[in-house]
Amino acid sequence: MRPHPIVPPIAVPSLVGAALAYAVHGWPVFLLLPPDRTPPTVGRSIQHGGATRDPARIRAMVDRYPAGLLAIQTGAASGLAAIEVDPDGGGRRSLAALDADGLLPGTLMADTGSGKLHLIYAHPGVPIRSGTRLLGPGIGVQADGGYIVVSPSRHPRTGGLYRWHGGSPFTHPPAALHPRLAARLAKTPPHRRHLTLAPDPAVSERHTR
């Protein structure tokens, strides 16, 4: 894995400016309310189907919840699948193993406000699971049904900023998720085993009487 160089983040004019920029890039956004990061409701649930790219709705969300944490919906809606590395949960060792297997091409990355790392890949176009420890200890995935908190948010507990590596998420487009990882994370296995059952003689006899 060849990470992009870390440089100071580009200043974002405002929460609404960042949200609109992500939306223009095709990424649906919503807000979470600290400290428990519960999605607020503006007309309907933001997390469940309410993430939006509509400028008017984005402005309404930010006007109503100016202290919210900005999040991008992952999965097919945004075309993003994020691998989340938790160093405190054994993520470094698991990450090294995945990298040694050639499963982690260089891609867009971000640091979270809690000290985790996001490796953000292009969604492969098939349903991908979200959850913790899906790729080993300390390695979770945010894809279909999930989200990632992004810059310029500040973590409510640590005070740490969410930062894009390279300063901007638009400089380095996400690489394709490795096919082996996509198959491993698919909600439905790509190849189902079809069983051919021998006919039951009793059934055949009944239907030929």
Give me the residue spans of the domains in the chain: 15-185
HEC secondary structure over the chain: CCCCCCCCCCCCCCHHHHHHHHHHCCCCEEEEECCCCECCEECEECCCCCCECCHHHHHHHHHHCCCCEEEEECECCCCEEEEEECHHHCHHHHHHHHHHCCCCCCCEEEECCCCCEEEEEECCCCCECCECCECECCEEEECCCCEEECCCCECCCCCCECEECCCCCCCCCCCECCHHHHHHHECCCCCCCCCCCCCCHHHHHHHHC
Radius of gyration over alpha carbons of the chain, in Å? 21
What's the confidence (pLDDT) of residue 187?
84
User: What pLDDT sits at residue 133?
Assistant: 96
Which stretches in the chain have pLDDT values below 50? 3-10, 12, 42-48, 190, 192-209
pLDDT of residue 119: 98
Query: Mind listing the pLDDT tens digit for each residue in 20-42?
Result: 999 999 999 999 987 766 666 54
Q: What is the pLDDT of residue 50?
A: 77
Exposure on the CB side of residue 29, measured as CA atoms within 13 A: 32
Output the pLDDT for position 62: 94
For the entire predicted model, the pTM comes to: 0.81
pLDDT at position 7, please?
39
